[in-house]
Chain A
Amino acid sequence: MHEEDILKLTYEEALKKLEEIVEKMENEEFSLDESLRHFEEGMKITRHCRKLLTEAEFKVEQILQNGELEEFIEAEEA
Chain B
Amino acid sequence: MSEASIFTVSQVSNYLKSLLLRDRLLQNINVIGEISNFKLHKPSGHIYFTLKDSQSIIRCVFFSGKNKNLKFSPAEGMMVVARGNVSLYERSGYYQLYVEELKPEGIGTLYLAFEQLKEKLQNEGLFDEKNKKPLPLIPRYVGLVTSPTGAAIKDFLTTLKRRFPCVQVIFFPVPVQGVEAAPRIIEALRRLDALKILDVIVLTRGGGSLEELWPFNDEALARVIFAMNTPLVNAVGHETDFTIADFVADRRASTPTAAAQLIAPEKGELIHRLEMFENRLRNRISGRLREKNMALDFLARAALQQYPRDIINQGQQRIDEHWQRLMRIIAYNIKLKGAEIRSYEEKLSALSPLKIMGRGYTFVVDENNRVLNSTSRLREGQDISVVFYDGEANCRVREIKRKTSLDNQLDR
Contacts and interface: CB of A to CB of B under 8 A. Distances in A.
A22 B154 CA distance: 41
B157 A22 contact: no
**Best-buried of B136, B168, B270, B284 by chain A (most CB within 10 Å):** B284
Contacts of A21: 281
Given A12-B137, A57-B166, A35 B277 contact: no
Interface string B320-343: 000000000000000000000000
Contacts of A74: 153-154, 157
A10 to B, nearest CB: 8
Interface of B: 136-138, 140, 144, 148-149, 153-154, 157, 160-161, 165-173, 191-192, 267, 270-271, 274, 277-278, 280-282, 284-285, 288-289, 292
Q: What is the predominant secondary structure among interface residues of chain B facing chain A?
A: helix
Given A32-B288, A57-B165, A22 B277 contact: yes
Contact of B277 (A12, A46, A61, A67): A46
B283 to A, nearest CB: 9
A22 B280 contact: yes
A22 B283 CA distance: 10
A42 B281 CA distance: 7
B138 A58 contact: no
Interface string A26-53: 1000101001100100110010011011
Contacts of B172: 62-63
24 contacts: A10-B136, A12-B136, A12-B137, A19-B277, A21-B281, A22-B281, A25-B285, A42-B277, A43-B281, A50-B271, A50-B274, A53-B271, A53-B274, A56-B168, A58-B161, A58-B165, A58-B167, A62-B172, A63-B170, A63-B171, A63-B191, A67-B191, A74-B153, A74-B157
Nearest to A57: B166
A43 B153 CA distance: 39
Contacts of A56: 140, 166-168
B138 A61 contact: no
Given A59-B169, A72-B171, A46 B285 contact: no
Contacts of A26: 280, 284
A60 B285 CA distance: 43
B292 A32 contact: yes
B288 A35 contact: yes
A15 interface: yes
A43 B284 contact: no
B85 to A, nearest CB: 54
A43 B277 CA distance: 9
Contact of A60 (B137, B140, B169, B281): B169
Contact of B274 (A25, A49, A67, A69): A49
B166 A54 contact: yes
A65 to B, nearest CB: 10
